[in-house]
Structure 1
Amino acid sequence: MGKRLKNIRERMAREGYDSILITKKHNVYYLSGFTGTAGVLFITMDDAYLITDFRYIQQAKEQTLEFNVLKYEDTIWTTLNNLIRQNGLNNIAFESNHVTYNQYERMKREIAEIQLIPTQDIVEDLRIKKDEEEILTIERAARIADETFEHILDIIKPGISERDIACELEYFMKQKGAEGIAFDTIVASGIRSALPHGVADNKKIEKGDFVTLDFGCKLNRYCSDMTRTIVIGKPDEEQKKIYKTVFEAQKAAREYVKSGLTGEEVDKVARDIINLGGYEGLFGHGLGHGVGVEIHEAPRLAPGFKRKLEENMVVTIEPGIYINGLGGVRIEDLVVITEDGCRELSNSSRELISV
């Protein structure tokens, strides 16, 4: 945590901020380790404070060794005003993309005469590259997902509902040590598999269905994310073609991705294969996204994303084809960007599996 505080202070110095107020819970956790649901960070060039209420004082003291833990008696604003006066501050930066208009208006009313400076993604820019411990934690979460996929193949059969499959996925991940799910579990079968975010429904699995399973877990606050599409029974020729096209697009992107390329360049490799396969316009989302303490974070692998990838960024690679009235296929893996390629964190088979 000390290194993360050092990094944000270096950014504050470059931007001319006397202090910064961190309110987004993922960023509070990233900088301090605090897991409570009520608390903000107030960081100056010399001091760092975690302000919370009486419910979390002991927890905060145990989790946030780099921060002075303060309990607010009246409101957070009263405590902030005291700190502003004590430190002789001239300005405060705040996370403008996580503060509502009403919250901003209250800040203007409640905080002493001081300049409020809106910032965007100041902590997210630090989070984009993972350290060794973060990568290890995500890898362990990905391993749980791999084990869960292997387990669910013995459960899926005609007549079982998507919702029952989702419940079993989530229960098994928790049995394996996950603290919770990373996002609403997607189980989409038959024509519903054409829904990229088809959250599990009461639909029963039928023979001939594609079944798309997109799920992940949280481990020590870090997420995993994987997708596999299987077929119930023997696939027909069109299903084979769709799957083969997605399989080849995903393989090409995994083999192409490396540090120094832009997200747009990697996306194009997979998108070109899908378009040439006759499915232009049916891959309607980006190729991938960053994963960390949030399931969707920077960087993005998508058209228009021109930031260059760097070593130790963790991203998904997840091309798909979605055809209304027929169904869809998506294959998704987690990888760590390296200097000359990537290291795969997801290890489940990518071949078309029939059950």
Structure 2
Amino acid sequence: MEELVMTVGVLATEFERRLARTREQMKKAGIDALFVYSDEYHPGYSFYYTNFRTINCIEESAHALFIPLEGEIQAFLGNLNRFAAKRFSWIKNVNSIYEMEALLPKYVSELTYEVKTVGVVGEELFPISLYRDMEKAFVKDGINIIDAGQIVVQERLYKSKAELDLIRKAGKLADDSILAALEQLQIGKTEIELSAIGEYVTRSHGGEIGSAYLVVSGPDHTNLPTWRPMERNIEHGDYVWFDFNPMVDGYCSDTGITVAMEGVTEEQIRIMNFAYDTNQRMVEFIKPGITGKQLFQETLRICENAGLADYFLPYTKGMRAIGHGVGLEVVETPDLGPNSDFVFEPNMCFGIKFDLHGFPFGGVRVEPTVIITENGAEPVNDLRGMRAKYESNFK
């Protein structure tokens, strides 16, 4: 396996550019300050401005930022995470999240301009108790609180060269981790064992786990659109799919492939081939200016022509029907699906997912991470190459 060397790819100078662009958007929206909230499980909003990701339980991993139009940013964290933040974060003004009700009015009063409106980013992530503390701190001074999530969402959609290079590294690490698990894939291995092999390769090559490393097999597990690896033994005639999500210096990939064990039927091979072919056609269909809805309609057309829409449509309801944004989190906005008016543009990054479920023998998943370029979509994974190596060398 080729050695993958990890290096820090996003410098503090990029933080300064991010902050300047964000403040420009704040001015346009008439917002005097932002209050940004994240936690360990959804770190992106705060990580984007700090290069720091908290750990531990929800209460302890709180990570909030007070970003004024002018002046210094103040960070608010759980008590234990404050110590690491003072050492590693780009933001050196570190406070306890449990003191923000008292401290926020103080920081507002020290500004050289009047604060009338505060925009909240990450409102959907806030624990109610912490939201109330923040709300009381601002409302008692007559400050208006509005939702400003789209300011940071839009900023994060467009990746810099440094960010895209890290996503490419994360994609390469996903491939290496899956290949290592495929080398050990055989009848009798458990899903848990194979997941652990992938996690070991990711961590031993300097990466982190962006989300759960899923290895599922057999009809019962692969017919579930999401499930965890268990002590199930791989069996003759199984589908086995791998969904690995490494993180490199904070940036993720989302990579899924399906392979077939010895003893699968011709029908299973046909369905698996169809999934790989359809996903490739989805990636080739993407161009700047295309909407998520158009991509969904094209995917549905392919399934209908093949008589397989009934195995596709039920699993496209709600979020992440055929894909989603990828970046500081494995799953970011926007969702790509039947109602998505989102327009693909260069320097954005997505997981492009194709699932079929409901067959007596199980279901399949194929999902590369892609970067949108001026000409189309660039996959950062080699899904067909991994499948071919397994079928020629490991099977």
Superposition TM-score, scaled by structure 2 size: 0.83
- CA–CA distance in 2 between the matches of 1:28 and 1:194? 36
Match of 2:50 among 24, 32, 38: 32
Please tell me whether residue 98 in structure 1 is matched to residue 125 in structure 2.
yes
Indicate how the Cα distance of structure 1 residues 248 and 105 shifts in structure 2: closer, same or farther if over 3 A, else same: same
Q: Name 1:204's counterpart in structure 2.
A: 233
Secondary structure of 2:338's aligned partner: coil
Q: Name 1:84's counterpart in structure 2.
A: 108
Q: Name 1:14's counterpart in structure 2.
A: 28
Indicate how the Cα distance of structure 1 residues 342 and 329 shifts in structure 2: closer, same or farther if over 3 A, else same: same
Secondary structure of 1:281's aligned partner: helix
- CA–CA distance in 1 between the matches of 2:274 and 2:97? 61
Match of 1:182 among 210, 234, 249: 210
Please tell me whether residue 269 in structure 1 is matched to residue 320 in structure 2.
no
Any unmatched runs of 5+ in structure 2?
Answer: 1-14, 55-60
Secondary structure of 1:294's aligned partner: coil
Q: Name 2:161's counterpart in structure 1.
A: 132
Q: Deviations over 1:15-61 (max 9, x none)?
A: 11111111224211101223344542111111132234675666545
Q: Name 1:107's counterpart in structure 2.
A: 134
Q: Shift in Å at residue 63 of structure 1? A: 4.1
Q: Name 2:197's counterpart in structure 1.
A: 168
Q: Name 2:277's counterpart in structure 1.
A: 248
Q: Deviations over 1:239-295 (max 9, x none)?
A: 122112212211111111111100111222222212221111212232211111111
- Aligned CA-pair RMSD: 2.2
C-alpha contact (below 8 Å) 1:263/1:299 kept by paired residues: no
Secondary structure of 1:75's aligned partner: helix
Q: Name 1:23's counterpart in structure 2.
A: 37
Match of 1:3 among 8, 17, 21: 17
52-61 or 95-104, which deviates more: 52-61
The letter for the 1-side match of 2:378 is R
- CA–CA distance in 2 between the matches of 1:94 and 1:331? 36
The letter for the 2-side match of 1:188 is V
- CA–CA distance in 1 between the matches of 2:302 and 2:251? 32
Secondary structure of 2:93's aligned partner: strand
Q: Name 2:10's counterpart in structure 1.
A: none
C-alpha contact (below 8 Å) 2:237/2:262 kept by paired residues: yes
Match of 1:123 among 143, 152, 169: 152
The letter for the 2-side match of 1:345 is V
Q: Name 2:7's counterpart in structure 1.
A: none
Q: Shift in Å at residue 2 of structure 1? A: 0.8
The letter for the 2-side match of 1:151 is A
Match of 1:238 among 253, 267, 274: 267
Match of 2:184 among 143, 150, 155: 155
Match of 1:345 among 380, 385, 395: 380
C-alpha contact (below 8 Å) 2:292/2:338 kept by paired residues: yes
Q: Name 2:327's counterpart in structure 1.
A: 292
The letter for the 2-side match of 1:184 is A
The letter for the 2-side match of 1:4 is R
Q: Shift in Å at residue 68 of structure 1? A: 5.6
Superposition TM-score, scaled by structure 1 size: 0.92
- CA–CA distance in 2 between the matches of 1:56 and 1:327? 43
The letter for the 2-side match of 1:160 is K
Indicate how the Cα distance of structure 1 residues 282 and 48 shifts in structure 2: closer, same or farther if over 3 A, else same: farther
Match of 1:311 among 316, 326, 346: 346
Identity of aligned residues (%): 25
Q: Shift in Å at residue 188 of structure 1? A: 1.4
Any unmatched runs of 5+ in structure 1?
Answer: none
C-alpha contact (below 8 Å) 1:48/1:68 kept by paired residues: no
Match of 1:141 among 140, 149, 170: 170
67-76 or 113-122, which deviates more: 67-76
Secondary structure of 2:289's aligned partner: coil
- CA–CA distance in 2 between the matches of 1:55 and 1:186? 30
C-alpha contact (below 8 Å) 1:249/1:271 kept by paired residues: no
- CA–CA distance in 2 between the matches of 1:147 and 1:72? 40
Secondary structure of 2:35's aligned partner: strand
Please tell me whether residue 225 in structure 1 is matched to residue 254 in structure 2.
yes
- CA–CA distance in 2 between the matches of 1:29 and 1:72? 17
Please tell me whether residue 44 in structure 1 is matched to residue 68 in structure 2.
yes
Indicate how the Cα distance of structure 1 residues 145 and 2 shifts in structure 2: closer, same or farther if over 3 A, else same: same
Secondary structure of 1:275's aligned partner: helix
C-alpha contact (below 8 Å) 1:97/1:120 kept by paired residues: no
C-alpha contact (below 8 Å) 2:76/2:97 kept by paired residues: no
Secondary structure of 2:155's aligned partner: helix
102-111 or 141-150, which deviates more: 102-111
Q: Deviations over 1:153-180 (max 9, x none)?
A: 220111111111111111121112212x
C-alpha contact (below 8 Å) 1:263/1:303 kept by paired residues: yes
Secondary structure of 1:330's aligned partner: strand
